Amino acid sequence: MNNCPICGRDKQDEFCPYHQTASTNLKEMHEKWETAAGLSWEEYLDKISDIEDTGRWIREVIEFITSQGGL
């Protein structure tokens, strides 16, 4: 399948360029949250989903990871 599983755009790697960047950002920022608040990956995803200002593509990647049981 050549389409992004989240939005249906053409995918480059796992996702389309937008969701790919969102996925990379999400992973990179976990380190900062871990240092600042000591959150595990699962706690971090939960927390980020609850914050209103989290970006739309970030939220969509979290939903996808969760739906795939990838926590």
- What is the contact surface with other proteins in residues (CB under 8 A)? 7-9, 18, 21-22, 25-26, 29, 32-33, 35-38, 48, 51, 53-58
Cα angle 59-62-58, degrees, rounded to a multiple of 5:
35
Question: What CA–CA distance (Å, rounded) separates 23 from 25?
Answer: 5
Helices of type H across the chain: 17-37, 41-50, 56-67
Instruction: Report the residue number, 48 or 64, with the smaller CB distance to other proteins.
Output: 48
Nearest distance from C-beta of residue 54 to other proteins, angstroms: 6
Shortest Cβ distance from residue 68 to other proteins (Å)?
20
